[in-house]
Amino acid sequence: MRLGGAGLSARRSAPVAVQARHHRVRGACANDRGPAAPRFRCWLGFGTRTTTGRTVADAFSLVEVVAAIGILAVTLVAVLGLMMATVRSGGEVADADAVARLAENIQGELDRLQASLGLAGLAGLVSPGSGGRAFCLVATRNGARVRCSDPADPAADRALDDPTLPGIANRDRYFLIEVSQSPGFEFAHSSGFLAFSVRITWPYHLPVGPPAPDAAGRAVDAVREVPWNERDLAIVNLALRP
């Protein structure tokens, strides 16, 4: 092209060939469809899905999270309930074994009282079952020790450090044993025996807080006396001969 006679010319540049290079992503990602419409599939993280030109990781929805937490909570409650039932059942079995041992130990404590008071003297302390106040004993949870706690007995409520016959601390008085003369078999000198109806209830005392520092003191022990309607009950019949 010429302008005003001047030798000015213009050339159209030759088209430059642009070669689109397509690099194949190795390892975690790979191109599936070429450079025109790149689409990648990636395995980075977990639960990934492919979209055109980008990778988006899947996530749990709020509904799924809430449902999982609810299932976990229900499972934990069921497991804890089963564990508590197992522990309670084990405690009941241990208490039943202790009650079975108590009969022999109650007999031993009554024999001790008879040796010191005589059969007639013991009959004077134990009221007939048809009326009057029952004669009270207490025992530890394992049933190994039974002691008289009735104020009618001069030797009742022995000190914990008594070298001859140690008492039982308030916090350890798990069984309450109430002894009365069997109805219809009240003591008579001519009968030659004394029949007892023994009422055992538990738990009687439950500890509250740490034990008292004074080994000889029981009244300062913090305990909770369990109401009657919350205790278990067993009845034992015994008899003493002169």
End-to-end CA distance of the chain: 151
pLDDT in tens, 114-167: 888 888 888 888 888 656 678 999 999 999 999 998 888 877 878 888 888 888
pLDDT in tens, 54-111: 555 567 788 888 888 989 888 888 888 777 766 666 667 788 888 888 989 999 999 9
Give the whole-angstrom CA distance, residue 216 versus residue 213.
9
36 versus 211: the higher-pLDDT residue is: 211
At position 219, the amino acid (one-letter code) is A
**Cα of 226 vs its chain's centroid, Å:** 19
Q: Is pLDDT at 229 greater than 90 in this prediction?
A: yes
Give the whole-angstrom CA distance, residue 89 versus residue 113.
36
Taking the model in full, what pTM does it have? 0.63
Domain boundaries, given as residue ranges, for the chain: 23-82, 96-240
Which SS3 state, helix, strand or coil, does residue 95 take?
Answer: helix
Residues 234, 151, 227, 238, Cα dihedral to 10°: 0
Within the chain, strands assigned E span 29-31, 40-42, 48-51, 54-57, 135-139, 146-148, 175-181, 194-202, 205-207, 223-225, 232-240
Structure tokens given for 108:
């031993």
Mean pLDDT computed over every residue of the chain: 75
